[in-house]
Amino acid sequence: MLVIISFFIAHWYLSLFTQTFFHHRYAAHGTFTMSRFWEKFFHVVSFVFQGSSYLSPYAYGVMHRLHHAYADTEKDPHSPKYDKNIFTMMWRTRGIYKAIDEGTAAIDPKFTKGVPKWRAFDRFAENGLVRSLWVVLYIVLYYFYADQWWLYVLIPIHAVMGPFHGVIINWFAHKYGYRNFEVKDTSMNLMPVDVLMLGEGLHNNHHKYGGRAKFSVKWFEFDPVYPIIWFFDKIGIIKIKKKDPLDYMG
């Protein structure tokens, strides 16, 4: 049981880390820059950590830019205001993601400019067989280490980990929580110390300051990924674009 719980926690956080660090803060918002080498490096690391639910940083980045531009309007790719329930929202988001990923959606170039694109790698990582092999790997691991039957209910979460994290923010952080800023959309901060969603839950702050690398604003808020970003900047892996006065450890 300890092995399985550790594996679940590791998968949860490593997958979420690549999503918030690489897909969200880098690909979509460009809050920091990195060399071609590190870009490819984090692209591959995202595949390893996200596994069967690997998301294309390009498709994610473009779709997410649309979300910020049209948040909570008819043109928003996902909004609890326009989708009846969490499942219809997920299904609509999936369709838009696929259209961007496959290049069939007509997108204004301002939404695609500078978003990292590695089509050949994405084709491989999103291949149905590759995705299935990851799921087989999860099942094999559970087969050997899950000593209680109920642990198997976690396998579907492993399989859809990336979109599972996405939907928590896209639905709940546009519905529940508190607001620091009266922005036009319905974004909320789910919790002041966001250990579960690695800072992504500070969503109202993020909608107000989309270009900031750090998602916490008030003294009582904490974004656990920012110290890592700060460290990567210090040792030269990345370069934070805008260091505003709100950034601690600037």
Q: Which residues bind Zn ion (CB under 5 A)?
A: 187
Residue 37 CB, shortest distance to Zn ion, in Å, is: 25
User: Treating both helix axes as pointing N-terminal to C-terminal, what angle do 2-18 and 128-145 enclose, rounded to 10 degrees?
Assistant: 150
Minimal CB distance residue for Zn ion = 187
Residue 21 CB, shortest distance to Zn ion, in Å, is: 13
| Closer CB to Zn ion, 93 or 187, in the complex | 187
Residue 64 CB, shortest distance to Zn ion, in Å, is: 5
| Closer CB to Zn ion, 117 or 175, in the complex | 175
| Closer CB to Zn ion, 51 or 166, in the complex | 166
| Closer CB to Zn ion, 68 or 131, in the complex | 68
Task: Judge contact between 57 and 116, C-beta under 8 A.
Answer: yes
Residue 136 CB, shortest distance to Zn ion, in Å, is: 33
| Closer CB to Zn ion, 52 or 187, in the complex | 187
Residue 249 CB, shortest distance to Zn ion, in Å, is: 22
